[in-house]
Amino acid sequence: MKKRYLFVLLPLAFAYGMLSAQLKIFPYEQLRQIKHLISMRDVLANRYVDTAGKVPLASVATYPERLVFLTYGQSNAANTGQLGYEVRQPVFMVSDGVAYEYSDPSLGTTGPNGSVWGRVGDKLIEQGAAKAVFFINVAWGGASMEELVRDHPFDYLENQLRQGLDQFGRIDGILIHHGERHNKNIPDKTPMGAETYPEPFMEFRGKLAQLTDAPIYLSLVSYCGDRGIDEELLKVQDGLIRDLEGVLRGVNSDALVDVKYRLPDQCHFSAAGLDAMADDWVSAILAKSED
């Protein structure tokens, strides 16, 4: 008798499990959270999430005239730039749905140094675009586009994005700085190349569309030190911007290759480079250009 019930219950449980994943009903959300916690165990040492000594903003409702961005990509979207910048305006970083005054290294991403986003927030406010700017930073240094669209990097993005949507009600843009990993000249046993960029980016775009209708700002990025500029990769990125609805033009950081803009590794950005790139990000966000 017990075996008979088992043969009936197992197919029913399997069918409900498939339905739960498809319709995102109980216990989909609970299992997703468990998966996120398990994956976090191996990456906490790399992703900066230490909120010790940071004072949470009492309520985001304090700033109704705000902009909210999620930032993604690899190291130059993370904490690998020159340290030393302090925000002047109401600019905040958001981790697990909680907002803190922006400071470097910023919460939620990899690397121990500075980032461009505090500068971007200050400049947007100073140009009258908002009274406050909030950044949900989730970049993962060194990752290919294939790696960013699955496993921990994307699971973490989804987790933080969902909490951000719960807190703010909307996201104004997904700011992407990525491409160095796909430079054809990368000294690696498995170079990615421009031809490997479109398919995972399309997968990424499709997954995001299930979470938010926020536009994606995709940058032109290939340069990192002695790898030089990969013109083929830039053409691929430019084509995605031109051809895809909802994909807007971000920055062209390959225009910032002068030694004054880069740290000694000629890959990551100096203070001057971060300033120049922040100006370009602000121009892109204000333009909302699809050309």
Residue 243: half-sphere exposure toward Cβ, Cα within 13 Å = 10
Q: Is 207 in the same domain as 264?
A: yes
Angle between helices 198-209 and 151-168 (to 10 degrees): 30
Query: Under a CB-based contact definition with an 8 Å cutoff, are residues 149 and 204 in contact?
Result: yes
Q: Is 26 in the same domain as 115?
A: no
Q: Is 12 in the same domain as 149?
A: no
Which domain covers residue 16, as residue numbers? 2-40
Q: Based on the number of CB atoms within 10 Å of its own CB, is 7 exposed (0-12), middle (13-18) or buried (19 or more)?
A: exposed
Judge whether 195 lies within some domain: yes
Q: Is 15 in the same domain as 108?
A: no
Judge whether 223 lies within some domain: yes
Q: Is 18 in the same domain as 156?
A: no
Judge whether 54 lies within some domain: no
Paired residues of 99 in beta bridges: 94
* 198 preceded by a cis bond (ω within 30 of 0): no
Q: Is 24 in the same domain as 80?
A: no
Q: Is 30 in the same domain as 140?
A: no
Dmax over CA atoms of the chain, in Å, equals 78
Paired residues of 47 in beta bridges: 110
Judge whether 205 lies within some domain: yes
Q: Is 147 in the same domain as 229?
A: yes
Read off the pTM: 0.83
Measured CA to CA, the distance from residue 288 to residue 173 in angstroms comes to 10
Query: Under a CB-based contact definition with an 8 Å cutoff, are residues 219 and 176 in contact?
Result: yes
State pLDDT tens for residues 228-266: 999 999 999 999 999 999 999 999 999 999 999 999 999
Angle between helices 117-126 and 271-287 (to 10 degrees): 50
pLDDT tens across the length of the chain (291 residues): 445 554 555 566 556 665 654 554 666 445 544 443 343 333 334 899 999 999 999 999 999 999 999 999 999 999 999 999 999 999 999 999 999 999 999 999 999 999 999 999 999 999 999 999 999 999 999 999 999 999 999 999 999 999 999 999 999 999 999 999 999 987 664 557 899 999 999 999 999 999 999 999 999 999 999 889 999 999 999 999 999 999 999 999 999 999 999 999 999 999 999 999 999 999 999 997 444
- Tell me what pLDDT residue 4 has: 56
Q: Is 235 in the same domain as 277?
A: yes
Judge whether 171 lies within some domain: yes
Structure tokens at 53: 């000594």
Q: Is 31 in the same domain as 147?
A: no
Query: Under a CB-based contact definition with an 8 Å cutoff, are residues 213 and 173 in contact?
Result: no
Judge whether 164 lies within some domain: yes
Paired residues of 136 in beta bridges: 70
Query: Which of 173, 179, 147 is CA-nearest to residue 285?
Result: 173
- Tell me what pLDDT residue 15 has: 61
The tally of domains found in the chain comes to 2
- Tell me what pLDDT residue 31 has: 54
- Judged by DSSP in three states, 101 sits in strand
- Tell me what pLDDT residue 208 has: 97
Sign of torsion, CA 281 223 205 168?
A: negative
Judge whether 82 lies within some domain: yes
Query: Under a CB-based contact definition with an 8 Å cutoff, are residues 261 and 270 in contact?
Result: yes
- Tell me what pLDDT residue 45 has: 45
Measured CA to CA, the distance from residue 198 to residue 24 in angstroms comes to 28
Task: Supply the CATH number for residue 71's domain.
Answer: 3.40.50.1110
Measured CA to CA, the distance from residue 195 to residue 43 in angstroms comes to 29
Identify residue 123 by its one-letter amino acid code. Answer: K
Q: Is 206 in the same domain as 114?
A: yes
Judge whether 45 lies within some domain: no
Q: Is 217 in the same domain as 246?
A: yes
